[in-house]
Amino acid sequence: MPPRRAAAAAARALRVPSTSPSIIAISDSDSDAFVPPDTEDEGADDVPSASSSSSPPHIPSDSGSDPDTGKRGTKRKRTIPCPKLTGKGRGNGRANGSAGVDIEDCHRRPHGIEYHDVDAVVALQQKLLDWFDGVRDARGMPWRKRYDAAATVEDKAQRAYEIWVSEVMLQQTQVATVIDYWNRWMAKWPTISDLAKADLEEVNAVWRGLGYYRRAKSLLAGATVITGSDEHSQRLPSDPSALEKDVPGVGRYTAGAICSMAYGVRTPIVDGNVHRVLTRLLGVHATQTAPQTIRFLWDAAETLVDALPRGLSRGIAGDWNQALMELGATVCRPVPTCGECPLRDACHAYAEAEMATPPPQPKGTECTLCEPVVGEMAVTVFPMKKIKKGSRVEHEAVVITEWQSEDDTRWLFLKRPEKGLLAGLFEPPTTPVAPTDAADQLAAGMTFVTDLLGDVEDAFEEHSAIGPVTHIFSHINMTYHVQRLVLRGNRPELKNGQWLSLEEVSDANVGTGVKKCWASVYGKWGEGKVGNFKVVKPKKEPPTKREKKKSVFKKERVKMVNEEGGRVVKKVCMPAMPKNGVSVKEVKMEVEVVVLDD
């Protein structure tokens, strides 16, 4: 076979067809079953890593060399698309950092599905439980309590409510932030029955600042369902399936957390932290959101829970689940501290990356779950990096509308729809605009307000553009183009919206973006007068000694052309070099006269 055909055949042989099903979207009600956080892989590429010990596959040269004669042609470094990265649900080369990579950097890691067995982890389960006993209270989480098998049904149901609130708050929010909010929430609504009596305005007010207000709404809806049904007797169900089915916003993860920790039920959990821990322990390098990946990890988690000792009456499943989460949150982080891990000896990722121990060859069929690793082998390549979608860019005009009378000032606020972004929160009149000039945006803002209030020409006092305010949501890069509209006279009645006093504005449930816009007009949230704040200009840093010296010795030529005695001369001003012991400030300018030829 000619060398070029041999090379092409070898390259084709490396391309393993994908057998993964398509990636599916996870519904809102089930989103907590497993949604890897967006920040999970941040900083992973900066971690030093050990190279894999496996050799790159041999590719015949396409330079025309003949191995039988020993003659060598020009040697060229070949690149090919990484194999097995183009099928549905399998991602592409960019998921690992490159779409076309050097073949030497592509690690196929051939292994059988038996490589992902949990036996080595089962052998160290008690070691992880002992580790968790030592760190259980380290982060001061008030909802984390030891399971009491002798507790009454009512006491366990109360624990279930406390855990439910904490788990919903912890979605996309750090523990340190949640602690204060959880304490305030439990002080206001200590039981699920108390919460069911609240309204959405009250719930949003306590939730203010946590973001993702849909979570607060789901807690209120869930409490209403539980207390309004005779089937549940004012208690969250102890059956994970019933909990997931009957309570709005509860998915498989939250149901597992509540039932294992509050009721002692043997049921697994897989959240973002547990996903990262299991993929590293079991050496799984697969598309994170692919259905077969999620299914495999849940099955592995269930096997580990079933393997725990029985008959101890200690709620061991809840302890095990919390131990896995704590390990992922504090040790097996995106950039891990493997030296502190109690499960390091059972970790395939550590063995491959740090100990240069490749997976054993498959005993039978090769694993179809895993993707090849592109780039240098490291613990941080597990789990497989997600393809990050770019945030969309949006622009909105925010018209902060004042209606001034002789003795009062009110501001116009509207309530957002009950579904969608910032559901149910208040905001000034806001409308989408194009990123054009300020005049067009002012016109769009005035049109929107006129549609709300009718003709305001007689009441018009002032309408000015304040400037842009940027606010970043998880999936939107928003630019608010803030405007101030001042009207005088009698306030019209509103079909939609409310005229709020300054005190009512301060107490209103608004998003952080609205507070930023308000502060751009009045200085800070809660103020209502323009011009009562100072714009603090950043102080200019004084020049360093090096910069001062450089400015003095910088050669500056000043061209001065004169005629002296019939000759044209050019004068060049240059600094004189200081002598030893002379300060820079004492340097004087000397004039060098250069005679130019006619």
Question: Read out DSSP for 484-541?
Answer: EEEEESSPPP-SS-EEE-HHHHHHS-B-HHHHHHHHHHHSSTT---TT-S---PPPPP
Q: In whole angstroms, what is the distance from residue 244 CA to residue 29 CA?
A: 9
Domain positions in the chain: 114-381, 392-522, 545-595
Quick check: 533 and 520 in contact, CB under 8 A? no
Say which residues have a Cβ less than 8 Å from residue 511's Cβ, sequence separation at least 6: 211, 422, 425, 427
- Beta strand pairing call for 430-432 and 589-595: unpaired
Q: In whole angstroms, what is the distance from residue 328 CA to residue 394 CA?
A: 35
Q: What is the pLDDT of residue 428?
A: 96
Q: What is the pLDDT of residue 134?
A: 97
Q: What is the pLDDT of residue 547?
A: 53
| pLDDT per residue as tens digits for the range 169-188 | 999 899 999 999 999 999 99
87: number of Cβ within 10 Å: 17
Structure token digits, residue 234 = 């004012």
Q: What is the pLDDT of residue 230?
A: 87
Q: In whole angstroms, what is the distance from residue 208 CA to residue 224 CA?
A: 21
- Give the ranges where 307-347 is alpha helix by DSSP (H): 316-330
Query: Coil, strand or helix: which one is 452?
Result: helix
- Give the ranges where 208-314 is alpha helix by DSSP (H): 214-227, 240-246, 252-262, 272-282, 291-306
H or E element in which residue 448 lies: helix 438-453
| pLDDT per residue as tens digits for the range 534-581 | 444 444 556 665 555 554 444 444 344 444 454 544 444 455 555 554
Instruction: For domain 114-381, give its CATH number from 3.40.50.300, 3.40.50.10470, 3.40.630.30, 1.10.340.30.
Output: 1.10.340.30
Q: In whole angstroms, what is the distance from residue 194 CA to residue 204 CA?
A: 15
Structure token digits, residue 373 = 């690793």
- Beta strand pairing call for 426-427 and 409-415: antiparallel
The CATH homologous superfamily of the domain defined by 392-522:
Nucleoside Triphosphate Pyrophosphohydrolase (3.90.79.10)
Quick check: 35 and 23 in contact, CB under 8 A? no
Q: CA torsion, points 512, 517, 521, 526, in degrees to nearest 10? A: -20
Q: In whole angstroms, what is the distance from residue 374 CA to residue 443 CA?
A: 52
H or E element in which residue 453 lies: helix 438-453
- Residue 322 identity: Q
Ramachandran region of residue 503, left (φ > 0), alpha (ψ -120 to 50) or beta? alpha
Q: Quote the DSSP letter at residue 576.
A: P
DSSP 171-223: TTS-HHHHHHHHHHHHHH--SHHHHHT--HHHHHHHHTTS--THHHHHHHHHH
Q: In whole angstroms, what is the distance from residue 263 CA to residue 236 CA?
A: 10
**Ranges under pLDDT 70 in the chain:** 1-105, 531-598
Least Cα distance to 207 among 478, 422, 33, 411 occurs for 422
- Predicted TM-score (pTM) above 0.85: no
Structure token digits, residue 448 = 């929107």
The active-site residue, picked from 162, 167, 326, 402, is 167
Q: CA torsion, points 169, 171, 174, 180, in degrees to nearest 10? A: 0
Structure token digits, residue 540 = 């200019």
Q: What is the pLDDT of residue 104?
A: 59
DSSP 119-143: HHHHTTHHHHHHHHHHHTTTT--TT
Quick check: 249 and 51 in contact, CB under 8 A? no
Quick check: 85 and 95 in contact, CB under 8 A? yes
- Beta strand pairing call for 100-102 and 106-107: unpaired
H or E element in which residue 438 lies: helix 438-453
The residues facing 430 across adjacent strands are: 398
Quick check: 18 and 86 in contact, CB under 8 A? yes
Query: Coil, strand or helix: which one is 482?
Result: strand
The CA angle 373-378-383, to the nearest 5 degrees, is 60
Cα 540 to chain centroid, rounded:
34
371 is catalytic: no
The residues facing 399 across adjacent strands are: 483
Q: In whole angstroms, what is the distance from residue 448 CA to residue 369 CA?
A: 53
The residues facing 415 across adjacent strands are: 426
Quick check: 106 and 83 in contact, CB under 8 A? yes
Query: Coil, strand or helix: which one is 559?
Result: coil
- Beta strand pairing call for 498-500 and 409-415: antiparallel
Q: CA torsion, points 227, 232, 236, 238, in degrees to nearest 10? A: 180
Q: Quote the DSSP letter at residue 558.
A: -
Q: What is the pLDDT of residue 335?
A: 97
Q: What is the pLDDT of residue 39?
A: 35
Q: What is the pLDDT of residue 374?
A: 86
Least Cα distance to 166 among 199, 233, 215 occurs for 215
Q: In whole angstroms, what is the distance from residue 148 CA to residue 156 CA?
A: 8
Q: What is the pLDDT of residue 421?
A: 87
Domains 114-381 and 392-522 share a fold: no
Scan for tokens 């299991």, then name that residue: 278
Quick check: 3 and 62 in contact, CB under 8 A? yes
